[in-house]
Structure 1
Amino acid sequence: MDNKGQASAEFILLFGGIVVVVLLAIHLYNNYMGDLSGEIASKEVKEFNNELNNLGKYFK
Structure 2
Amino acid sequence: MDDNAQASAEFILLFGGIFVVVLMAIYMYNNYINDLSGQIQSKEVNEFNNQLMNLKTYFK
TM-score, length basis structure 2: 0.71
Per-residue deviation, 1:38: 0.6
Structure whose residues are more often helix by fraction = 2
Cα RMSD of the aligned pairs, angstroms, is 2.0
Where does structure 1 lack aligned partners over 5 or more consecutive residues?
A: 52-60
Aligned AA (1:22): V
- Give the count of matched residue pairs: 49
Residue 18 in structure 1 maps to residue 18 in structure 2 = yes
TM-score, length basis structure 1: 0.71
Query: Where has structure 1 moved over 4 Å in runs of 4 or more?
Result: none
Identity of aligned residues (%): 71
Counterparts of 2:27 and 2:16, CA distance in 1 = 17
